[in-house]
Structure formats: C-alpha cells, structure tokens
Amino acid sequence: MNKQLLTLSAVCLLIVASCSKNDPEPDKEQTCKVKLVEHTYTSGSGNKTDKYYYGYDNEGRLTRVDYGKEQSNEVETFTYAANKVTWEGVEGDTEVYSLDANGRITTAVQGDDILKFKYNTDGQLIEAGMGDDVETFTYLNGNLATSSYNGKIWMSLSYGNGEVKNSIVYSWIFGELLDYDEIGYRVAPFIGKLSKNLPSKIVYGSGEDQTTADLTYTTDATGKLSSVKVVSSYGSSSSFTSEYKFTYECK
C-alpha cells in the first residue's frame, strides 16, 4: 500500500469513527513487466515474426530472454551478484557488467575488451567507449538528442509527447544506441536515466548513407505502449517497415 493510501486511511480512522473494519482493502498498485515482444518485418517476399519471451526474478530484475518460445533452448541469461551482472548469450559467450551504487553500468567486459561508461550529474549516459573508439551523447529537455562517434554525429532524434516507462521497450526503440556488438539491447536496464519521451524520428548517418526512421505508437486501454511501427527509408526510393508488439504480465 503506498504512502498516499496509508495517509487517507489514517484520516478516515481519525475523523469518521463509523469506518467499518470489514471494508475491503484498496487495490494494491500492480507492477507490469514486458512478457513478450513480437518483432514483425519483411523477409524475402513475405513477413516474418520473431518472438522474445522475458523472465524476471522475485525482485523484478530481468533474468532471461527466450527466443521463439518460453523455456526454449535458445536463451540468454542475466545473473546478479553484488554490483555485478553476468550476461550469457545463446552460444555461451559472456559479458560481465560492473554497476555503481545507483545500479548504473560502469564497465562491460567482453572477452579482452573493456567498454567504459560515463554519466552526467543528472544520471544520463554521456559517454561509452573502448580505448580511442568513443561514443558521446547529448541531451535536450530530458531526451537524447544526438549520438556521435569521435566527435562526428551519426544519430539524431526528434520526439513526440509519449513517455518511456519501461527499459525493455526502451531497448527495442533505442537498441542501436550503443553499436558495440549490439550491447545496447542488453544493457538498457543498467544505463541510468532514460530519455523521458518516445522518439518520433531517428536519423542515422548523413548524405547518401543517411537512413530515416519514422516511428508511430499505439497504447492499450490502460495506457501501456502496445506496439511501435517503424518505417525506415534510405536513398530516394527504398524503405523498410517493421513492427514491435509488447505483451505485459501484471502482478
């Protein structure tokens, strides 16, 4: 029961002596986690849908992602220890993430490579890199505005009014944010304060290599994001459409 409900109950007891002890207890606020992500995209002459099932521990931390079906043979796992997270991929490769006191990733060890992360005073990720290969991030009005490699912008974003409320959803929308062996999809729950809003447009690259992604969203009756459609265009006539659908489990 949250603090506000406790306060209201206390006022009721103090002021209205006739409040019955048999009155039903107010509903507890539910916590909703993404249970399934379905990614539909064009493959050959038709569409293909990949499914990703998410599992969590009793503390609500992500512990596994199964491919195709629940409890599959294709699974990646997350194991937690004091200030550390170990990720193991489908092929058995591993990464070890060190976290600070606020649960933000500070280093990711990938074999012989060490990826380091830095944050600003607002808790937003501003730098990630290995050696001289450094990616930097700028923010505007609480949202990621640009991502640059070694000082050259490779991604810029525009936003609507929809809000980001889930790190798994964030990982799919901003998955290419960290282009180090697709690590962005894995470390989204650990990269600090996320952008406040959902992007309406993401522009990658420049000139002939520029790709523009336009994003549209739908929500369910309770306001949770249920799907995002991404239409990517590059060159003068080429385009690619994909859609992500999110199914939740609420407890």
Q: What is the pLDDT of residue 132?
A: 86
Q: Which residue has 């459609």 as its token pair?
A: 229
Q: Work out the mean pLDDT of the chain and round it to a whole number.
A: 85
DSSP 8-state secondary structure symbol assigned to residue 124: B
User: Which residue has better confidence, 157 or 2?
Assistant: 157
Q: How far apart are CA 214 and CA 173, in angstroms?
A: 11
Q: What is the pLDDT of residue 236?
A: 66
Q: What is the pLDDT of residue 29?
A: 58
Average of pLDDT values for 83-91? 95
Task: Please report, as a single letter, which amino acid is at residue 79.
Answer: T
pTM of the predicted model as reported, rounded to 2 decimal places: 0.82
Helix (H) or strand (E) holding 117: strand 113-119
Q: What is the pLDDT of residue 229?
A: 95
Task: Tell me if residue 6 falls in helix, strand or coil.
Answer: helix
**Would you state the structure tokens that stand for residue 201, as one six-digit string?**
């447009």
Average of pLDDT values for 191-204? 92
